[in-house]
């Protein structure tokens, strides 16, 4: 993965702590990692954690001072080879399935034309809802790849489906996708 650019989206669920381990492993594997967090994600893990692990500024606000002159969402999308959202909450899955762009993460992913991996994490009742399963089906139809969720102990005290895949499993899939060389850095649909 050396030299590859990974966009790591972190949405607001208790499994966000696993995203920090994933960011660390990606950096150790030689990837550049840009992190976009939803505002809710910052309530679970602070941006400073990801900044320390990646050596880069964490992006949360759509209208913060811009690093990219085109807008954060466009610049971040064009920089990345692969995007992964871990954890991908029910809210994030719904936004992506609807094509919404009402926060920095969803806007960035709407601009991104490379492979997007989603690692869902939520309560088992939420995961089993028809609306969530419709969103998952739509996302798969639209070319998103889901990693998990697995079965296991959930923070709500139940055992069932909804547990986010472990960082090692996600890392292996990112490495496979990043090595195929078909990424276009988000500009395939546009002409200069």
Closest to 20 (Cα-Cα) out of 43, 50, 59, 58: 50
What is the pairing mode between strands 82-88 and 5-10?
Answer: parallel
Specify the 3-state DSSP secondary structure of 129. Answer: coil
Catalytic-labelled residue, pool 111, 124, 156, 190: 156
Answer yes or no: are the C-beta atoms of 88 and 117 closer than 8 Å. Answer: no
- HSE at residue 115, side-chain half, CA atoms within 13 A, is 20
What is the pairing mode between strands 159-163 and 145-146?
Answer: unpaired
- Alpha carbons 108 and 77: distance in angstroms, whole number: 6
Query: Is 111 labeled as catalytic in the residue annotation?
Result: no
Active site residues: 156
């Amino acid at each position: 993965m050396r030299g590859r650019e990974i966009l790591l989206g972190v949405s607001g669920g208790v499994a966000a702590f696993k995203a920090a381990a994933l960011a660390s492993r990606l950096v150790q594997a030689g990837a550049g990692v840009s992190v976009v967090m939803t505002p809710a994600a910052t309530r679970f893990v602070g941006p400073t954690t990801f900044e320390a692990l990646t050596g880069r500024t964490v992006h949360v606000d759509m209208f913060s001072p811009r690093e990219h002159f085109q807008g954060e969402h466009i610049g971040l999308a064009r920089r990345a080879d692969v995007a992964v959202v871990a954890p991908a909450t029910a809210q994030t899955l719904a936004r992506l399935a609807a094509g919404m762009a009402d926060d920095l993460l969803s806007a960035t992913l709407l601009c991104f034309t490379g492979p997007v991996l989603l690692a869902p994490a939520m309560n088992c009742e939420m995961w089993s809802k028809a609306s969530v399963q419709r969103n998952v089906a739509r996302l798969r139809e639209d070319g998103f790849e889901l990693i998990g969720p697995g079965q296991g102990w959930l923070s709500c005290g139940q055992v069932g489906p909804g547990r986010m895949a472990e960082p090692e499993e996600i890392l292996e899939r990112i490495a496979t996708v990043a090595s195929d060389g078909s990424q276009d850095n988000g500009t395939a649909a546009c002409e200069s």
